[in-house]
Amino acid sequence: MGATMKPVNENILIKRLIVCLLIAFLLSPVLLANVKAQSGGVVVGNWPLSEVQPSGSEVITPDKTGINNGIVAYNPSLVDGKFGKAMQFNGTNFVYIPIKFIVGFPPTPQPIYIPISPNLDIQKYVDITAWINIPGYKNATYNNILVKCNHPDQAAAWQNTIRELGIAIRAGVPGPGENYVQGALSGFVTTDQTGFNEIVTTQSVPLNQWVEVEFTRTNAGMHLYVNGYEQSVDVLHGVQNPQGNIENGTEYYIGHDGYATIQDVTLTDLSPPQISEAAFDIGPNIMIAIIVVSVIFAAAWLLRRLIQLWLIRPQSLSKA
């Protein structure tokens, strides 16, 4: 009885091992794909703009990442939005998100900066999305949705501010050499190699309705989207595919100089530092190692059993 049962048990064990290896093999591409997708970008700021909270002497609106809360200035209203509450801007109020503070006293030959949120200074590729509902345009060149600025001196005067990155609605009187339709969606970056670069849509953003707007800068250049559809654009300044890194800034503004209700502003770093990508790669490496070790173990075990069945058992039978 024992002699007949042993091969059956061995066959069951072999089948179970093969099934486990097959499941691991089938699941590994899914696991690898999921991790790869996650490493494609890191959200560094997500401002729903659905609530305000007191924080010391300031009033803030939370960042979902828990790091880069926005400081609310001049009391924008909370109104019904696309999803729950949203923040309504009247052309004067805004949300301020610091990247670094400038030390203004004592005066120094070069500005002294105190870092606050360095992760907001995206270096290479970026994605900005927001839901907006605009009733009209303020007579300002840029009705800002989200803009990163830089103050190059200790005075931090607004007229000296440099635009580094952002998405806005173009309105007002076009500048020298500019040509765009009122209400065009604008996306722009300033890089250390090509300076200021801006694209604008050839059509206006619809008024009095909720639309999702998006600006991306990738290795394929700058692109604008409305409700998920890529828009035809004109290059207003510079080139559509600028080279170099995005210049650093001192702060971001949401809603500055614009008439708009804004909700769910998201800022994503599409090319995070290598250390972040390496951290995401730990999962696939471990999975690959487990699969390789399992295959080696299974092969060794099967080889051992074959040697026992083909060599040891015939010898014992001949002796019998």
- The alpha carbon of residue 47 and the mean position of all alpha carbons in its chain are separated, in whole angstroms, by 13
Number of helices followed by number of strands (H, E) in the chain: 3, 20
Reported as type and span, the H/E element at residue 252 is strand 251-254
Give the chain's mean pLDDT.
Answer: 81
Phi, psi dihedral angles at 152 (to 5 degrees):
-80, 0
| Ordered structural domains, the chain, with CATH | 46-274 (2.60.120.200)
Decide if 287 contacts 31 (C-beta within 8 A). Answer: yes
- Each residue's pLDDT tens digit, 195-205: 999 999 999 99
| Mean local confidence (pLDDT), 136-164 | 85
Whether the pLDDT of residue 317 is over 50: the answer is: no
Which residues have C-beta within 8 Å of that of residue 57, sequence separation ≥ 6?
none
Whole-angstrom distance, CA of residue 316 vs CA of residue 320: 6
Whole-angstrom distance, CA of residue 224 vs CA of residue 46: 19
Whole-angstrom distance, CA of residue 280 vs CA of residue 295: 24
Whole-angstrom distance, CA of residue 221 vs CA of residue 73: 34
**pLDDT at position 28, please?**
45
- The alpha carbon of residue 271 and the mean position of all alpha carbons in its chain are separated, in whole angstroms, by 8
pTM, full prediction? 0.73
**pLDDT at position 249, please?**
94
Whether the pLDDT of residue 94 is over 80: the answer is: yes
- Each residue's pLDDT tens digit, 21-80: 555 444 444 443 333 333 469 999 999 999 999 998 899 999 999 999 999 999 999 999
pLDDT band for position 11 (cuts 50, 70, 90): low
Whole-angstrom distance, CA of residue 97 vs CA of residue 252: 5
Phi, psi dihedral angles at 176 (to 5 degrees):
-55, 125
Amino acid at 151: H
| Mean local confidence (pLDDT), 161-184 | 93
